[in-house]
Structure 1
Amino acid sequence: MKAMVGDRLVLESTRSDRPNHVGIIVALRHPDGSPPYVVRWLDEEREVLVFPGRDARIEHRRTGSTDSVPG
Structure 2
Amino acid sequence: MRAAIGDRIRVHSRTVGQAERAGEIIEVRGPEGTAPFLVRFTDGHEGLVYPGPDTIIDSADHD
TM-score range normalised by the length of the shorter chain: 0.7 to 0.9
Aligned-pair Cα RMSD in Å:
1.7
Show structure 2 runs of 5+ residues with no match.
none
Q: Please give the secondary structure, in 2, of the residue aligned with 1:32.
A: helix
Q: Determine the C-alpha separation between the residues in 2 that align with 1:6 and 1:46.
A: 16
More strand by percentage:
2
Query: Which 5+ residue runs of structure 1 have no aligned equivalent?
Result: 65-71
Aligned length: 63
Structure with the largest fraction of helix: 2
TM-score (norm 1): 0.75
Percent identity, aligned pairs only, is 35
Q: 1:29 to 1:63 in 2, by over 3 A?
A: closer
TM-score by length of 2: 0.83
